[in-house]
Amino acid sequence: MTDAPPRPEPFAPRATSAAIEDLRARVRATRWPDAPEDAGWALGTDLAYLRELLAYWADGFDWPAQEAALARLPRFRVAVGGLGIHFVHARAVAPAGPVLPLVLTHGWPDSFWRYQKVIPLLIDPGAHGADPADAFDVVVPDVPGFGYSDPPVGPPLDSIAVAGLWAGLMDVLGYPRFGAAGGDIGSHVSRYLALDHPERVVAVHRTDAGLPIHHGDPADLEPEERDWIAGAAAWGRDEGAYAAMHRTKPQTAAFGLNDSPAGLAAWIVEKLRSWSDGDGDVEKRFTKDEILTNITIYWLTGTIGSSMRMYHANAAIAPEQLARRVEVPSGFSIFAGDVVRPPRAWLERTANVARVTEPPHGGHFAPFEVPELYAEELRAFFRPYRTPVTG
């Protein structure tokens, strides 16, 4: 007699009033650091802006309203690989042709939050001025240790292991073949889905190519590739201190960030500003409510430490894994406001490129910043791969 397959259960978390009051009390009790006069954002998070954001977090932000809005998404949890995985599973509305299942993977510092705006555009394109034939069944999981998925109880999982979990999740949901897409850590996970499960992944779309790693002779690279590698190294020197901490001593930072709402907010909001297409104004792309919803998910789930530890796991991935070429048809949307933007020559070297575009707006969080543009990128890329792939 075989065990019954795992069954997804509806999931709608509700924070207790005690948890919200504790958060507000901690925010109000923030012990503020000093800052050089007129430092602004040059040394990290701007003190004046963070004071403004936290004042709203303490006395204006309505978490129950945001929680209710997130609860309108069809959310579930299911055990996969011994871990409870939280995910959105939104089915196509009134499709006019074959429905393509699509698994979307987020990065850091976020969660399923990254895709909340784009889900309605993908499942019901006809209601948003697009072709109903481009409808998707959309699956948006929280990576283990992020959001409402369980953190690993042992060593942190790397992107290869998470890709294996997603293959299992799609089995649970009855999808033998599907598309994959993501950015940041989600780009790595999507890449390994295509590498390790090519018989199942019909095509893969990514918004970046990660940071460049090349162990061969630099003379074998095109000039634009060498320039990109040099530029990425310079970016790492100027902007990569957070990643060095995550890779090497994430637990040290976790004590402070998990205990201080101000510290957590400072760690995250600086990246939302630096990596988005906002011309230095974080609220050009994110409202205070949107910023604080992302940060409050981290606070209530206590996942800042477990999310950072994934960098440590990914840093240990063997070089031969990093050097593998993706043969599944690959598409790239390299948004104008993103960081470390790869040249086409590098994309061709590392993947079987079917389409590359450079959208004029949007940054590292493109699905949230410019959801209509991101949705159109996915529709256009996956259109040739629409065959009856649902189980």
Q: What is the pLDDT of residue 1?
A: 44
Buried b (16+ CB within 10 A) or exposed e, 16-28: eeeebeebbebbe
Q: What is the dihedral of CA 378, 380, 383, 385, to 10 degrees?
A: -60
Q: Does 69 fall in a domain?
A: yes
Q: Does 14 fall in a domain?
A: no
Supply 63's token pair: 């978490």
Structural contact between residues 150 and 157, judged by C-beta atoms closer than 8 angstroms:
no
Q: Does 13 fall in a domain?
A: no
Domain assignment of residue 84, given as a range:
20-29+41-385
Q: Does 4 fall in a domain?
A: no
Q: Is 212 left (phi over 0), alpha (psi -120 to 50) or beta?
A: beta
Query: Both ends of the chain: CA-CA distance in Å?
Result: 24
- What order do you get walking across the sheet with 351-357 strand by strand? 9-10, 75-80, 83-90, 136-141, 100-105, 178-182, 201-206, 326-333, 351-357
Looking at the structure of the chain, the number of domains it has is 1
Task: Kindly list the averaged pLDDT for each block of 10 residues, start to end, along the chain of length 391.
Answer: 79 97 98 95 97 98 98 98 97 92 98 98 97 97 98 95 98 97 98 98 97 83 92 92 96 98 98 96 97 98 98 96 96 96 95 98 98 98 80 42
Q: Does 194 fall in a domain?
A: yes
Q: Does 11 fall in a domain?
A: no
Residue 94 CB neighbours (<10 A): 11
Q: Does 24 fall in a domain?
A: yes
Q: Does 192 fall in a domain?
A: yes
Is this prediction's pTM over 0.75? yes
Nearest to 283 by CA among 388, 361, 369: 369
Q: What is the pLDDT of residue 213?
A: 83
Q: What is the pLDDT of residue 94?
A: 86
Q: What is the pLDDT of residue 388?
A: 58
CATH number at residue 94: 3.40.50.1820
Q: What is the pLDDT of residue 249?
A: 97
